[in-house]
Chain A
Amino acid sequence: MRARGATRRSRAELRFDHTVLPNGLTVIGEYNPHAVSVAAGYFVRTGARDEAGDVAGVSHFLEHMMFKGTDRRSAADINRSFDELGAQYNAFTSEERTVYYGAVLPERLPQLLDLLSDMMRPALRQEDFDVEKNVILEEIAMYEDRPHFRVFELGGRCFWNGHPLGHSVLGGAASIRDLKRAQMLTYFEHRYAPSNLTLTVAGDYDWQAVTADASRLTGSWRSFEAGRELPEPQPAAGDGHTEDAALSRVHAAAFAPGVAATDDRRYAAAILANALGDDSGSRLFWALVDKGLADSASLGHEASDGAGAFVGYVSAAPDRAAQVIDIYRQVLVHSQDNALEPEEWQRSQRKLATGLTLRAETPLGRLVSLGVGHQTLGRYQSVQDVVRAVMESTVEDGRALLAERPFDRLYVHRLGPDGTPE
């Protein structure tokens, strides 16, 4: 339990701030007196899982379009404004959410908030839409050349078996080519409700100024409700394969049922996944990577809204892919009968605790866990709260998860030159 010391020093000095504006926008902050910068971002609770089939990929395409201009700014203005602020900035889209963020020196926070808030009401101009469609198609082509990425999209679709968490973030080249600006606008108007957004700030800031700015900048936003469907998953088990004769290796993605982001067992699931599949010192590492049988063999746990999954990856030469995947599977299946040792549980607890503390060193590093955590749970969790929850999870919690035998329902998807079933 020594990792409790991890964040003891700064514990009393951090401060959490929170308000909900009349339009429904949640604004949160974690003030850190040691920070010399500040990060801010809009966390939008919308992603690939919220897309209908005919607009597959629209969340991610829209994320790009949010940088292409507003009524007040052209695309070039937006990029130039970020640069004038000396901002480190970007955005990302997942199945669960879309996030726009930047980090600046504290005196430039008002301009950053002005810029990010303006971007949340985009112009979506047709000519920008047409040029950016090419960029999206290039991004899809880029990932075509990254089989270790592609196999997760292929496998996830099969594993989730019709559940929205199996949707592709990028969409497909065909769905993107067919997508119309009007469809994107409709999606935007149904998903970017103020109540579906959280403005998150981390680092050095003045809370009164932040709330005043946020109220002024977003006051005209129309309120409405944006929900989300949370169907019960019916995940697939077994094997799947996609033939690609151009590849030199077999890339395999593995999936097994996990727990949701609001489930108290999520910490135990993360520790369990680390003990089984961290990239060093885990059971999969010793069985495959240490022996030189595979250059990568990993497992993690992804806790999402309403459902979760253990997700892993392994790659191997075609002539021994069957052997490697069999070992991968056996390590997971046998772990259900081969009780976790308290020592291996503690090692994973401590590694996770260190990782959480390290990521919180910078405001930009802290921003994502702060925003995602609050949006998921509806309440604040400090880094030390999370570290404590990790350190207080017991090996019995891990054994209880294994007693449900999630790896008996493992789904493994192979992508590579040997697409034929064994």
Chain B
Amino acid sequence: MPAASSGDTIFEHRFDNSLWLLFEPMPWLPTLSATLLLPFGSATDPDGLDGSGTVLHDWLQRGAGSLDSRAHSDALEALGVRRGGGAGREAATLSASFLAEELAAVLPLVASMACAPRLDESEFAPARELAQEELASLADMPAQRLLDALLRRFLDGGPGRSPYGSRDGLARLTPASVRADAEHRLGPAGAVLALAGGGTWDEVRDVAGRALGDWRGASLALPEPTLRPPGQEHVAAESAQTQIGVAFPAPPPGDADVYTYDLALHVLSGSMGARLFTEVREKRGLVYSVGASYRALHGFGYTMGYAGTTPERADETLRVLLAEIRRLSEGVEADEFERARTGTLSSVVMQGESSSARASRLASDALLQGRARTLGEIRGAVEAVDLEQLNAYLAAHPFPPATVVTLGPRPLSQDVAA
């Protein structure tokens, strides 16, 4: 059924096995992008087996159907497929971009990784070893370490666990444990296949149905994220800069207030003319990088702020960062609002030019809010917000206390968040 709005269209279909197919035609493009979202991630890793989802995601790509790892990879590449994807907190992704005319050849190869992975014993050890290497590499990536530490401090339980896993968790994995994990959560229910680009709906539905319509398997429901009490934490690291991260709850994805909230965040940090960039970098020269953005998990939204600065400027940087976040509650000016609106609407239009951007947005919308939005719907919803509404919202919803995590050579001199 096309869900058309303002000239843009999304086709969707639910197969008998619950797999959800979405397609946005971009008929002027010779290319087609596909995102297959599998609803397993670190949030649902089995207890004590942190990293199981990440190793499973890698193992899936090491041979499927009648093809071993090498043959499967060669087959995709002979078709000129650009592959992507990764293992995340709530979902693992297999993505591919290719020429639309190759759809019938490419999609079965991509699909087979989910519905007919070989999970050959010989491929398990290297898959786990690669995950262990990636975990070890984190030590030299302070910004990524900060993100992991911040979410671990901010979120309780599964959703706070890092997709990189843990040393102990990875060490405990066995071929049998990961196969058992796949039995529980590698299934079509909750999975989404989203495509955008050249091609027709009839062909997409037909090819996807043949490739994945018979897929069987169990799925796990995603846990509702719960929060730990806000607070401040420091992680010691021998780095040139102190990494600063803050997080606090925001409206959940799909909530009617999300568009209003998003415009407020745009005023805070949507561009180089926004408040954070102006106050922290342009006026004070405290940082190269500073920003705040809305993030979402299934049924839960939050805002994450970030800045990186040399240790002697870290106290002042955090102070200005938090002050600007709090100051938003006092409302925004009419010209700031206009710029945020123009920027948001313009980026919505530009998103509609990239097949991979559209495919991944369709898939994440489906996962996070249970429905896909056309760009026309998003445009309409943004246009419906006015300044009074935005300021009323900000006055009525002061920003909640933030969790603050820093990573660097020394802790901040005072508890600035208090």
Contacts and interface: CB of A to CB of B under 8 A. Distances in A.
Contacts of B234: none
A247 B141 CA distance: 10
B82 A358 contact: yes
A142 B317 CA distance: 15
A358 B355 contact: yes
B132 interface: yes
Given A75-B282, A141-B240, A289-B130, A280 B345 contact: no
Contact of B139 (A6, A9, A248, A292): A248
Given A76-B278, A138-B310, A292 B286 contact: no
Contacts of B287: 135, 138
Interface in A26-66: 34-37
B364 interface: no
Nearest to A364: B350
Given A144-B240, A280-B83, A86 B343 contact: yes
Interface stretch (B66-74, B182-190, B294-302, B320-328): B66-74
A306 B344 CA distance: 42
Given A80-B273, A317-B133, A357 B99 contact: yes
A295 B77 contact: no
A216 interface: no
Interface in A365-407: 365
B74 A343 contact: yes
A145 B270 CA distance: 26
A322 interface: no
B381 to A, nearest CB: 17
A7 B31 CA distance: 9
A358 B285 contact: no
A22 interface: no
A354 B308 contact: no
B384 interface: no
Nearest to B409: A246
A147 B69 CA distance: 32
Given A34-B28, A83-B339, A350 B140 contact: no
B415 interface: no
Contact of B353 (A35, A79, A146, A296): A35
Interface string B272-298: 111001100111111111000000000
A142 B289 contact: yes
A79 B272 contact: yes
A15 to B, nearest CB: 15
B140 A138 contact: no
A98 interface: no
Nearest to A8: B30
A281 B82 CA distance: 11
Nearest to A139: B288
Given A80-B339, A135-B287, A358-B31, A142 B355 contact: no
Contacts of B28: 9-10, 34
Nearest to B341: A86
B163 to A, nearest CB: 14
Contacts of A290: 62, 69, 126
Contact of B78 (A8, A80, A83, A346): A346
Contacts of A281: 73-74, 76-77
A294 interface: yes
B238 A83 contact: no
A35 B98 CA distance: 20
B240 A361 contact: no
A88 interface: yes
Contacts of A362: 350, 353-354
Nearest to B309: A138
A6 B30 contact: yes
A84 interface: yes
Contact of A82 (B81, B271, B285): B271
B356 interface: yes
Interface string A109-135: 000000000000000000000011111
B271 to A, nearest CB: 5
B165 to A, nearest CB: 13
B221 interface: no
B313 to A, nearest CB: 8
Given A295-B134, A354-B98, A361-B31, A87 B139 contact: no
A142 B28 CA distance: 41
A86 B99 contact: no
A295 B133 contact: yes
Nearest to B62: A290
B347 interface: yes
A351 B346 contact: no
A6 B99 CA distance: 6
A89 B350 CA distance: 13
Interface in B47-77: 62, 69-70, 73-74, 76-77
Contacts of B343: 83, 86-87
Nearest to A35: B353
Give the 5 A-B residue pairs with the shortest CB-CB distance, closest first: A292-B129, A86-B346, A350-B80, A134-B285, A79-B273
23 contacts: A6-B30, A67-B272, A76-B278, A86-B342, A86-B345, A87-B343, A88-B346, A89-B272, A133-B285, A135-B287, A138-B287, A144-B241, A249-B136, A281-B73, A295-B133, A347-B80, A354-B80, A354-B98, A355-B82, A358-B97, A361-B29, A361-B354, A362-B353
Given A5-B30, A76-B273, 15 more contacts: A7-B30, A10-B30, A80-B273, A86-B344, A88-B350, A131-B285, A134-B286, A145-B240, A247-B140, A249-B139, A291-B126, A291-B129, A358-B355, A361-B31, A364-B350
